[in-house]
Structure 1
Amino acid sequence: MGRFLGVASIVILILAAAVLALYIRSPLEPIVFDPPKGGSLTGEFAVNERLAGLAIYLENRGTGPEDIVKGPDGHFYAGYQDGRIIRFSVSEGRAVEGSIQAFVNTGGRPLGMQFDGAGNLIVADAFKGLLSVSPSGEISTLVDYADDSTLRFIDDVDIADDGTIWFSDVSTRFGLHEYIYDLIEATATGRLLSFTPSNGRLQVHVSDLYFANGVALGPHDSWVLVNETGASRVTRLWLKGPKTGSTDVFIEGLPGMPDNITFNGVDTFWLAMPALRSKEIDALAEYPFIRKLLGGLSVSLLVPTSDLGFVVGLGLDGTVTSNLQSMSGVYHTITSVNEYDGYLWLGSLAMPSIGVLALPVAY
């Protein structure tokens, strides 16, 4: 018995030391949170393979074409993990391989992109800040992380008709390389901001967002949407009318974790969901101590992988109008969906290519 107790004591001490080490190493300060309700792959989100027939272009030109946008010059632009932004020509929904050119390298990580009225490419760069790239490729910084000590992770961008640039900052706690920590911690420190180029004004409009991500202005710039990846919902800020300055929920209870969102200018918001909700994080919602210990592990052990491709179309009232999925892995970890000339252009966090799908005419 004495020998058993001795061994047991050693095992307990080792386990205690391991727990203590994880606790000390962890940068997390988790809180108890309420996981979103609903979110099953049934009904309007029923499993399907409508994305399986998409076309693949620009294979092995780079990893992680997060966003793909069409410029006023008719060329398309895509940003990659290594900082490159390339441009290429398109013919009838097909990328012309021989047309690919290097445009610029931001030296950071270009994420959401949008062209302003002067033809400059406005880039939300996770490492460099909010950038403006002229048609000739000259890069200027509009918002530097040094301008606001709480800025950590500028993610997506959209531009109003008056030139105001709306953008998201994922977290005041963690940057791109530690993004999984923000989801596990659940302190919801993300924000929606605007920058006015004419006077350099930087303004915070909405705070306490759970992993602020995609940004899209609505019809006539009357409101702006911001995705909350960690909450599986889309929040709306009213910019005009009697509700000006107030927020409400555009859609919630999504089965996935929304990334970017775009407006086709007419009747549809396209929502990209790179992954389903994490059952593990939700199961630990009431156990912040355990989640604190997870923060002591390497990020590489915590980031999930997925073969899911998931795109949702939303009407102007937030109802689901399109449900496009694929579980086959043909194109997965989708981060952006942009509609141009009857086609959907898909970007991804992890794919070495871009995806193109003829605009679906049915649910």
Structure 2
Amino acid sequence: MAGSRAGRRGARSPAASHPTALVPRRLLSLGGRGPEDVVADHRGGVLTGLEDGRILRVDRPGDPDHTSVRVLAETGGRPLGLELLPDNALLVCDAERGLLRVGLDDGVVRVLADTIAGEPLRFCSNVVALADGTVCFTVSSRTHPLAHWIGDLVEHTGTGRLLRLAPGETEPEVLLDGLQFANGLAVSSDASFLVVAETGACRLIRYWLTGPRQGENEVFLDDLPGWPDNLWRAPDGPIWVAIAAPRVAALEFLHRRGPAVRHTAARIAVRAPFRPPGTAGVLAVGDDGRVLHHLESHRSRHRMVTSACESDDHLILGSLWESGLAVCDLPGRTD
């Protein structure tokens, strides 16, 4: 049975320390717009998907003299969240086609799930694979498509979901419903719980996979400095949380108004010109909910950071807005 939005138990807030500077060393053009998610592999490469449906591999992104970019596949839709599998395949949340599996050797695209209870799976956002072959993924909105994502954040629909697809099945089940723009997803280091980014509520949710609280959920990290987007777990390291934009007081005031007011405001928002603010940020978070690093820039050359991953001692940033990646130093590394 699907759970509802999270309770308060276990909630933490980010430490009140000043963030350190997030300064790109290099901006890497990809010849296409919107590398929304970035994931690193064990060979020092980074995979991402573009607005035109291409899945790209970027080798040595931190080395300007040896960087290479090649196309691995085309989904025929709009790829968002990615998850590498051990057999050299890639799980893809496609905002138009649903949950996909892409062979990285042959480029073959297979649909794993595209409906739930007769409803088309649209706006799939981020995905993780568990050790037993189970796939968990998020759907950001059931009322607004990707092109109108700002409308869901304004209307505050609470139609986001966390879904699970069991091995061999084609119909997902609902684990959590009623989320405010469900987004990034990561697994704890011991695989006992999932962390889910709830963008519209500026918080992270914990969903227990094992133990005495299996199937229960709670707030994991609250009162974030902005909208959390994709999550990525570093091997033997923290969860990187992309902060796509800072909090907006006027928007939070609007969320306290009635549904009719929010709906009208959303209709206006999706037609208004949009340009992301200059503030870019990322957090590194431990499994105990403690913020290990808070990196931020208020005049960023790389706007709307929607993902972050580590590759060859660099922090690589993706963006729904930009036409390339940003390559930054990891915290503590200045050489």
| Residue number among 160, 171, 174 corresponding to 1:190 in the alignment | 160
- Alpha-carbon distance between aligned partners in 1 of 2:320 and 2:101, rounded to the nearest angstrom: 22
- Alpha-carbon distance between aligned partners in 2 of 1:209 and 1:56, rounded to the nearest angstrom: 36
| Residue number among 278, 282, 285 corresponding to 1:311 in the alignment | 282
- Report what 1:120 is aligned to: 89
Displacement, 1:316? 1.5
- Report what 2:119 is aligned to: 149
- Alpha-carbon distance between aligned partners in 2 of 1:71 and 1:248, rounded to the nearest angstrom: 31
Q: Does 1:106 align with 2:75?
A: yes
**Cα separation, partners in 2 of 1:84 and 1:257, compared to 1, 3 Å:** same
Displacement, 1:332? 1.8
Q: Does 1:338 align with 2:309?
A: yes
- Structure 2: runs of 5+ lacking an equivalent: 1-11
Displacement, 1:280? 2.0
- Report what 1:323 is aligned to: 294
Superposition pairs of residues 72-221 of structure 1, within 5 angstroms: 75-90=45-60, 93-94=62-63, 99-134=68-103, 135-145=105-115, 148-149=118-119, 151-221=121-191
Preserved contact between residue 128 and residue 145 of structure 1 (Cα < 8 Å) = no
Range with bigger deviation, 260-269 or 153-162: 260-269
- Alpha-carbon distance between aligned partners in 2 of 1:298 and 1:340, rounded to the nearest angstrom: 36
**Cα separation, partners in 2 of 1:74 and 1:263, compared to 1, 3 Å:** closer
Normalised by the size of structure 2, how large is the TM-score?
0.88
What letter is aligned with 1:123?
V
- Report what 2:263 is aligned to: 292
What letter is aligned with 1:121?
L
- Alpha-carbon distance between aligned partners in 1 of 2:87 and 2:168, rounded to the nearest angstrom: 13
Q: Please identify the structure whose Cα radius of gyration is greater.
A: 1
**Cα separation, partners in 2 of 1:67 and 1:241, compared to 1, 3 Å:** same
Range with bigger deviation, 328-337 or 57-66: 57-66
- Alpha-carbon distance between aligned partners in 2 of 1:302 and 1:256, rounded to the nearest angstrom: 21
Q: Deviations along 1:155-195, whole A, 9 cap, x unmatched?
A: 01111122211110011211111212211222311110111
| Residue number among 13, 16, 37 corresponding to 1:43 in the alignment | 16
**Which of the pair is proportionally richer in helix?**
1
- Structure 1: runs of 5+ lacking an equivalent: 1-37
Displacement, 1:287? 2.6
Displacement, 1:327? 1.1
- Report what 1:352 is aligned to: 323
Preserved contact between residue 39 and residue 255 of structure 1 (Cα < 8 Å) = no
- Report what 2:204 is aligned to: 234
**Cα separation, partners in 2 of 1:268 and 1:356, compared to 1, 3 Å:** same
How well do the aligned residues superpose, as a CA RMSD in angstroms?
A: 2.5
**Which of the pair is proportionally richer in strand?**
2
Q: Identity percentage over the alignment?
A: 34
